[in-house]
Amino acid sequence: MRLIRSILLAFTLICFHSCNQTSADETNGLVLHASLPDTILNAATTFNTYCWKSNYEIKNALIYRIATPKGFVRNEAKIGSFGNWLRYLPLKSGNPDVLLYNGEKKRYQAGHAAVVDIDVGTTDLQQCADAVMRMRAEYLYSQKIIESLHFNFTSGHTIGFEKWSEGYRTVIKGNSVTWSKSATKDDSYKTFKSYMNTIFNYAGTSSLSKELKKVPNIKDIQIGDVFILGGFPGHAVLVVDVCENETTGEKLFMIQQSYMPAQEIHILKNFNNASISPWYSTNFTGDLETPEWTFTKEQLMRW
């Protein structure tokens, strides 16, 4: 199967042994993906780093925790790619409540199937588009693809981490954005987080939607794609996994979001088809209805 072939690529590089897929069991409202042993799963995580986590555990990886519906297999995601990185995101154990940036519980708790194990910060910054940009930035930073780590402010100015890490900081006056050398050269994770907080302050769905390119056909959906409506307010959710029925060709996808006020990133349930939740089918008619927002097929975009 494609999933196994993809993981075995990393597996071969570090000289482990292959094995076959087995069954899955349900636990804590999710399906435990008990099909691959820890040795193989750990092989793929050798190529993925989650800088905010000091104690990454493969048993809580998205791919390990959430199985595909019967008859579906995960689409191949190249080792080292954004898609593969998203597929191994760490989830919190079980399915706890979603917390806001101030530690309080989100009022609406019915819409999530799992909570991503990543910080939300202590200020009301990491909202919907911010969470999408956080995922993309964390991947690029972890892979040291610094030249591609940049986002646009709502003003249209492109702000890159490479220049930020050299000690330059933005000076904002009205719609004018300039750079000033005011810090020492530092590409540490702490500096990266300060850069992202500035991005969260001055970017959003409006600017992000202008950076992305439309995906003409939803059947071509890929991990890492974004459903986004740019505006004030707008909303954005990130595609974190894709699988396909090898007989019919039907594709399913999984999405995650943050929302307002800033809150923990979480995997969304599918209320329209509980039998495949938290997966969504690309065969939906009309609009894409998620627990807290409705998108159209035309709002699927790509980096």
Whether 122 maps to a domain, the answer reads no
* Interior angle at CA 129, CA 256 and CA 191, nearest 5: 105
Whether 250 maps to a domain, the answer reads yes
The secondary structure of 233-244 as a DSSP string is T-EEEEEEEEEE
Check whether residue 173 and residue 222 sit in a common domain. Answer: no
Terminal Cα distance for the chain, rounded: 27
pLDDT band at 8 (very low <50, low <70, confident <90, very high): very low
Whether 224 maps to a domain, the answer reads yes
Instruction: Give the residue carrying structure tokens 């890492």.
Output: 224
pLDDT band at 40 (very low <50, low <70, confident <90, very high): low
What are 32's strand-pairing partners?
Answer: 25
Number of separate domains in the chain: 3
Check whether residue 15 and residue 62 sit in a common domain. Answer: yes
Model confidence at 19: pLDDT above 50: no
Whether 103 maps to a domain, the answer reads no
Check whether residue 189 and residue 232 sit in a common domain. Answer: no
pLDDT of residue 71: 96
Whether 43 maps to a domain, the answer reads yes
The secondary structure of 265-290 as a DSSP string is -EEEP-TT-TTTTTEEETT--S-EE-
Whether 283 maps to a domain, the answer reads yes
pLDDT of residue 46: 73
Model confidence at 18: pLDDT above 50: no
Q: Which of 259, 265, 260 is nearest to 89 (CA)?
A: 265
Model confidence at 41: pLDDT above 80: no
Check whether residue 245 and residue 293 sit in a common domain. Answer: yes
Q: Which of 39-43, 151-155, 190-194, 260-264 has the lowest mean pLDDT?
A: 39-43
pTM > 0.85 = yes
Asked whether the CA dihedral 215, 217, 224, 121 is positive or negative, the reply is positive
Where is the domain boundary, 160, 179, 204?
Answer: 204
Q: How far is CA 138 from CA 23, 26, 32, 147, in A?
A: 32, 30, 26, 13
pLDDT band at 120 (very low <50, low <70, confident <90, very high): very high
pLDDT of residue 199: 98
pLDDT band at 2 (very low <50, low <70, confident <90, very high): very low
pLDDT of residue 34: 45
Check whether residue 72 and residue 133 sit in a common domain. Answer: no
The helices-and-strands tally (H runs, E runs) of the chain is 8, 17
Highest-confidence range of 12-21, 54-63, 157-166, by mean pLDDT?
157-166
Mean pLDDT, rounded, for 34-62: 77
Check whether residue 192 and residue 155 sit in a common domain. Answer: yes
pLDDT of residue 35: 56
Mean pLDDT, rounded, for 170-184: 95
pLDDT of residue 47: 82
Environment class of 84 (CB within 10 Å of its CB; exposed 0-12, middle 13-18, buried 19+): buried
Instruction: Give the residue carrying structure tokens 């505006």.
Output: 231
Check whether residue 139 and residue 161 sit in a common domain. Answer: yes
Mean pLDDT, rounded, for 288-294: 98
CB 169 within 8 Å of CB 183: yes
More confident residue, 122 or 25: 122
Q: Which of 53, 45, 46 is nearest to 189 (CA)?
A: 53
Model confidence at 10: pLDDT above 50: no
Q: How far is CA 228 from CA 107, 201, 213, 215, in A?
A: 23, 18, 11, 11
DSSP 22: -
Check whether residue 166 and residue 235 sit in a common domain. Answer: no
Model confidence at 200: pLDDT above 90: yes
Average pLDDT, the chain: 89
Two tokens, residue 275:
């039998």
Check whether residue 246 and residue 260 sit in a common domain. Answer: yes
Beta carbons within 8 Å of 289's beta carbon, 6+ residues apart: 271, 272
What is the distance between the alpha carbons of residues 146 and 143, in angstroms, rounded to a whole number? 8
Q: Is 206 helix (H, G, I), strand (E, B) or coil?
A: helix
pLDDT of residue 279: 98
pLDDT of residue 45: 66
Model confidence at 36: pLDDT above 90: no
Where is the domain boundary, 182, 204, 226?
Answer: 204
Q: Per-residue pLDDT tens for 202-260?
A: 999 999 999 999 999 999 999 999 999 999 999 999 999 999 999 999 999 999 999 99
Where is the domain boundary, 175, 204, 233?
Answer: 204
Whether 101 maps to a domain, the answer reads no
pLDDT of residue 189: 98
Instruction: Print the domain residue range for 36.
Output: 2-87
Check whether residue 295 and residue 215 sit in a common domain. Answer: yes
Whether 184 maps to a domain, the answer reads yes
Check whether residue 80 and residue 19 sit in a common domain. Answer: yes
Mean pLDDT, rounded, for 167-191: 96
What is the distance between the alpha carbons of residues 59 and 80, in angstroms, rounded to a whole number? 20
Whether the upstream peptide bond of residue 233 has omega within 30° of 0, thus cis, is: yes
Check whether residue 194 and residue 277 sit in a common domain. Answer: no
pLDDT band at 175 (very low <50, low <70, confident <90, very high): confident
**For residue 136, is it left (φ>0), alpha (ψ between -120 and 50) or beta?**
alpha
